[in-house]
A and B are shown apart, each in its own frame.
Chain A
Amino acid sequence: MTELFSILNLVTFLPLVGVLVILFLPRKWQTAIRWTALLASLVTFAFSIMMLMDFDVHDPDLQMVQEVAWISFAGWDIKYSMGVDGLSLLLVLLTTLLTPISILSTWKAIEERVKEFMIFFLLLEMGMVGVFLAQDLFLFYVFWEFTLVPMYFLIGIWGGPRRMYAAIKFFLYTMAGSILMLLAILWLGLRQGTFSIPELIAKGGINPDLQIWLFLAFAAAFAIKVPMWPLHSWLPDAHVEAPTAASVILAGVLLKMGTYGFIRFNIPMFPEASIKLAPWMALLAVIGILYGAAVSYAQRDVKMLVAYSSVSHLGFVVLGLFALNPQGIQGGILQMVNHGLSTGALFLIVGMIYERRHTRDLDEFGGLWKVMPIYAVVTLIVTLSSMGLPGLNGFVGEFAILLGAFGSTSIGSRLYAGFAAAGIILAAIYMLYMFQKLFLGPLDKDENKGLKDLNIREIVTLLPLLILIFWIGLYPKPFFELMAPAVQKVVDILQTASMVVH
């Protein structure tokens, strides 16, 4: 029974307490509901910080593990199993940080059905944290699918004009990939006699040809979630229609569930297949980087531009992970966090201007720096971070990724990293283009002349992200230290496997 209040359970299920409280609040008490949700997510964040304090940096294995028998019959051995290691820790922290920030951003933006919104939002947080902490395939799958439901409603109820289309497309697309993963999970669990992820990794011994099929089945789910080119078609719809807070979470956390899946499942469970398929994954990643960058340059809608930039940025993450060396993988994991911070901030920024002008058309703006200097400076910093300016967070991740990919033996050719690096030039083009369209040039539209600069609440919303953008850029050491042993463990697995392959 003491296990019930273990730190991992608290981090995962505390949002549920918030949900319960909100359920009993009358729907008219909107402010109380908002504060309850914010408080619940902040307490969750506090607990995740406690989890960080308890975390042993030098231990490569799962920590704070908690296992309870759950479903056990006819050869099925499914456990309620939670644990955290260097691969997931940062993502859990990212989730618990972005949730209160997103809730704060809805203060004025969500006026209708606040109660339901907050309930769904907290449920979403629970699902996402669960995904990152679950150490049993079955439990993981439950959380994985669970996140779809609140997100479906968040887009479908509070979204833009084409919200139903976007919500259904998001749901079906993700579901389609998950089915294949479910099959692979069932096959693995029955064949290996366990659903426990660490046990499956330790057991290994799946014949390489079979591994490829399993790899592809898992990859189908993850590649859609990332989304990797060419499976990205749901992303612009979902992003453009989703309300700001949902976009932040979608870009900041939900997409990371895909890349996290690669590093948690595909690479350590199917190392031989990963080594064999690495060039193909790298190819898709590089196409995604260049394609996403080019397409986002041609957008007229700010949100579309940022959405496509995610395709480009996540391409970097996948490229890094499949470099299969410490630089690439650590860079990839850090870049997941970086993308969560900078793209999350970009969506918040877009949301702020949308609240003021009710348009996202780039041609409607120009010269905003004059009327909104604070907003302009914040956007500039975030933009620079997103395009990988050295000294800010994006660069550290991108550099490590490209360095890793350049020297990766499994990718095989330096051309991939070379072309990917060219993506950084393209990133400068579309990001500066966006900045120019919004803030530079003459202030010639009458509607823009009376715009108010950021208020205290909005600055508070963005401030934690800005601090982290500088922190990771200037002193990323603690972040790398958190993940280094766990990544080394994965790399060791891969090295053993590469001897089998060659």
Chain B
Amino acid sequence: MTSIELGLDVGLFAYAPLIIFLPLLGLLINMVLGRRLGEWFVGTIASLAVASSFVIAVLQFLALNSHPEGAQVLVADWITIGDLDVAWSLKIDTLSVAMMLMVTGVSTLIHIYAAGYMHEDVRFQGDPGRYTRFFVYFNLFVAAMMVLVTADNYLMMFVGWEGVGLCSYLLIGFWYEKGEDGIGNAVAGKKAFVTNRIGDLGFMIAMFLVFWQFGSLNFDQVFTSAHTAGAAAGGVITAITIFLLVGAAGKSAQLPLHVWLPDAMAGPTPVSALIHAATMVTAGIFMIARNHVLFDLAPFSSNLVALVGGATALFAATIAVAQFDIKRVLAFSTISQLGFMIAAVGMGAYVAAMFHLVTHAFFKALLFLSSGSVIQGVEHGHHHVEHGKKTRGAPFDPQDMRNMGGLRSKMQITFMVYVIGALALAGIPPLAGFWSKDEILADASQANPTVFWLLVAAAFFTAFYMGRQILMVFFGKPRSEAADHAPESPPVMTLPLILLALLSMVGGILNLPGFHTLTDWLEYTLEHAHAAEFNLVVAGFSTGLALLAIVLAWLIYGRVAMKKGKPDPLRRILGPIFVGMHNKWWVDELYNFVIVRPYVALARFLAKYVDWRFWHDWFHDIVLARTFQRGAWWLSKAFDLKVIDGIGNGLGDLTKGAAARLRTLQTGYVRNYALSVFVGVILVIGYFLIR
């Protein structure tokens, strides 16, 4: 293990553990004092904790600039058994610092936004006491995410990996008494956790394989051994990478484990933005990038990764087209964009993937937060309307885009930033998304034509559904009274939005063609990080497609604005395909039918019939116990009474007869006994004398 050399700026590496401990400190303060300190204080503490983590990340960045080889910072020993030696130890290199900067930076903005958003949300949901809890979870999430990205071994990464999963579970079910049948949110959280655990199983098995193949779980040691072993260990490395892919598919919501992410939108909107768009779900991409040495040695797995990514990108994009829930559209868009990144890492375009990961974090966080602003605006409008009516109206869904429309003039800032985010996502130059997405497409055009066409199709749908969403939400006439009365959100919420919008606009400079800042930066970690040359044909083609899709969206949704109560115009055009897209291609139903219900039925069957009726009641209580009772009964009635008692009674009778005669000797007079003793003594003495 390389220790930290002495030196001024290198000494900064020693502060790296603070990036984990500061959020933990924040959550401890809030946990102990939160209720007494009040909302303002709680929000500030939580945001400050994350902001100071961001400062630490910047310090690491500065240190890395002069010492790009990075460092390992040992915090404590952890598990040592036999050959297994795992430590709590941080790996500071360009890859992890890039993630640190992105995660803490975006987290800080979202924390500030959430301070305002949750203030409204806890009141709307009717439990203001839960404000503190939200920020405790939020800080815990940042800490877990930092463990994940800074880990220098598989096991520690796994701690962060499941840690963020836990926070995701807790935050999806944050309003655990709400949702479908009052339990919907909690069920969604459980679904996310369990689906993630399927991926985690893959991660674990990969770890076992790594350990027994390379004798270590430390990244550096494993990669060195893998390099040396090379093709000799090809089969095992392929197996390892496939299991790692399963892990990544779980966390990054790729086919076939994508089903949890749409349901995860049950969490409050800042959660969707931070965890389910910008940071946690990108952990899979980060993990594959971290293991690029292994994936480079396993071409089969890499191709599989690329295919899974490409397929997911298109699959999710088609579903996003036919959703009505504003957040669900974004959720499927996230899955689709994660598919882009996964496809990129599969093709060896790690830098492009990381680039897209960062820009996506900007614009998707922006989109989610803006959608939160929209939702709260509509909620406010709804309250306003309900207040005037005095009677409770029908249940109202403030997230349904069919209830919106015309918000352009009501929420101007939100509208502006939303459009910026949407155009960035659609890949319109010169916004951030264009540069990163184009880098991926350029790579794909060279590496893998199948994946290229999958991604191009996905990009087309992306532009289309974003156009549809903007037109449905912001244009036309308000389709509900609530939308008509929606006010703009307060500055604490709009300020982070504006910052994120700026980042979404200029994020592309991170890795502009010809400059390759990010490429050069990541090169220290990802040795073969090559950047595909900027390809004008690909760029022009994809931009043209995106514009075409937007025009198409305008033709369908913009030219004639959607009317209240009318079905989606696309429904008429696409017919059953639209139904399929709207129903998410029935994957949930399929899983429910193939896995969930059989398991529940099996568990019930095992519990009720096999374990209880058969094994407990029948075998133990009937077979064992009753056989014993029958045997005992036979012994006591037939055998014992006749044979044993016969012997016993015979002996008894004999004794009785003898006793009847002997008893007459017993007179009861003590002096009689004394006399017989006396006579006896005389006799004994006489015997001795005579002898």
Contact surface of A with B, Cβ cutoff 8 Å: 169, 230, 233, 236-237, 291, 294-299, 308, 325-327, 330-331, 366-367, 369-370, 384, 389-391, 395-396, 399-400, 402-403, 406-407, 414, 417-418, 421-422, 424-425, 428-429, 432-433, 436, 439-444, 474-477, 480-481, 484
Contacts and interface: CB of A to CB of B under 8 A. Distances in A.
A440 B173 CA distance: 8
Interface string B168-193: 01000100110000110011001001
Interface string B147-160: 00000000100110
Nearest to B628: A172
B20 to A, nearest CB: 12
A442 B159 CA distance: 32
B611 A480 contact: no
B125 to A, nearest CB: 12
**By CB atoms of chain A within 10 A, which of B77, B82, B209 has the most?**
B82
A403 B211 contact: yes
A294 B609 CA distance: 13
B194 interface: yes
B373 to A, nearest CB: 28
Interface stretch (B272-280, B341-349, B445-453, B600-608): B600-608
A330 B81 contact: yes
Contacts of B207: 403
A436 B162 contact: no
Q: Point out which of A296, A326, A406, A433 has the most chain B C-beta atoms below 10 A from its C-beta.
A: A406
B79 A477 contact: yes
B526 to A, nearest CB: 26
A92 to B, nearest CB: 21
B687 interface: no
A475 B78 contact: yes
User: Secondary structure at chain A's binding surface: helix, strand, loop or mixed?
Assistant: helix
A389 B166 contact: yes
Nearest to A443: B177
Given A299-B607, A417-B208, A428-B194, A480 B615 contact: no
B212 A440 contact: no
Contacts of A236: 616
A436 to B, nearest CB: 5
Given A402-B208, A403-B208, A428 B603 contact: no
B80 interface: yes
Contacts of B193: 428, 432
B197 interface: yes
Interface stretch (B55-63, B198-206, B391-399, B563-571): B198-206
Given A169-B620, A298-B603, A429-B194, A422 B201 contact: yes
Interface in B422-476: none
Given A425-B197, A439-B176, A440-B176, A418 B205 contact: yes
Contact of B190 (A414, A432, A439): A432
B183 A436 contact: yes
Contacts of A484: 80-81
B166 A396 contact: no
Given A236-B616, A295-B611, A436 B190 contact: yes
B208 A433 contact: no
A474 B176 CA distance: 29
30 contacts: A169-B620, A294-B599, A294-B603, A294-B606, A296-B607, A297-B607, A298-B606, A298-B607, A298-B608, A326-B82, A330-B82, A370-B127, A384-B166, A399-B204, A402-B208, A406-B208, A406-B212, A421-B204, A424-B204, A425-B194, A425-B198, A428-B194, A436-B183, A436-B190, A440-B173, A440-B176, A441-B177, A474-B78, A476-B78, A477-B77
Nearest to B207: A403
Dominant secondary structure of chain B at its interface with chain A: helix
Interface of B: 76-82, 84, 127, 155, 158-159, 161-163, 166, 169, 173, 176-177, 182-183, 186-187, 190, 193-194, 197-198, 200-201, 204-205, 207-209, 211-212, 599-600, 602-604, 606-608, 611, 615-616, 619-620
Interface hub of A390, A406, A428, A433 (most chain B Cβ within 10 A): A390
Contacts of A389: 162-163, 166
Contact of A400 (B81, B176, B186, B209): B81
Nearest to B31: A377
Contacts of B76: 475
Closest 9 pairs (CB-CB, A-B) = A326-B82, A298-B607, A440-B186, A406-B208, A442-B182, A390-B159, A440-B176, A407-B212, A298-B603
B211 A297 contact: no
Given A294-B603, A327-B82, 10 more contacts: A294-B599, A298-B607, A389-B163, A389-B166, A390-B161, A421-B204, A428-B194, A475-B77, A477-B78, A480-B81
Nearest to A473: B159
Contact of A295 (B77, B187, B599, B606): B606
Contacts of A429: 190, 194
A378 B201 CA distance: 26
A321 to B, nearest CB: 14
Contact of B183 (A298, A369, A390, A441): A441
Nearest to B191: A432
A440 B78 contact: no
B197 A400 contact: no
B249 to A, nearest CB: 15
B194 A230 contact: no
B604 A298 contact: yes
Nearest to A439: B176
Contacts of B183: 366, 436, 440-442
Contacts of B186: 436, 440-441
Contacts of A230: 615
| Residue in A400, A403, A480 whose Cβ sees the most chain B Cβ within 10 Å | A403
Given A233-B620, A298-B603, A407 B208 contact: yes
A396 B79 contact: yes
Contacts of A425: 194, 197-198, 201
A224 B186 CA distance: 38
Contacts of B209: 406
B79 A400 contact: yes
